[in-house]
Amino acid sequence: MSNETDPTPASLSALLAETSIRLDLTASNKEDAIRQTGAALLEAGAIDASYTNAMLERERSVSTFVGEGVAIPHGTLSGKDSVINDALVVLRFPDGVDWDGNDVRVCVGIAARGNGHIALLSQLATVLLDPDRAAALRAATTSSLVYELLTPDPEDE
Partner 1 sequence: MSERTVAVASSVGLHARPASLFSQAAAKVGVPVTLTSAAGKTVNAASILGVLSLGIGHGDVVTLAADGDEADTALDALAELLNTDLDKD
Residue 54 or 146: which CB sits closer to partner 1?
A: 54
Q: How far is the CB of 107 from partner 1 (least distance, A)?
A: 13
Considering only residues 102 to 141 of the shown chain, the ones binding partner 1 according to CB under 8 A are 115, 117-119, 121-122, 124-126, 128-129
Detail the DSSP E strand segments found in the chain: 16-22, 65-67, 70-71, 87-99, 102-111
Which of these, 59, 55, 53, lies nearest to 74 by C-alpha position?
A: 55
Instruction: Assess 66 for contact with partner 1 (CB under 8 A).
Output: yes
CB distance 151 to 11 below 8 Å: yes
Which residue among 30, 58, 74, 117 is the active-site one?
A: 74
Interface with partner 1: number of residues (CB under 8 A): 25
Distance CA(48)–CA(108), nearest Å, equals 18
Name the amino acid, one letter, at 116: G
Active-site residues, by number, are 74
Give residues in contact with partner 1 (CB under 8 A): 4, 58, 61-64, 66-68, 72, 74, 76-78, 115, 117-119, 121-122, 124-126, 128-129
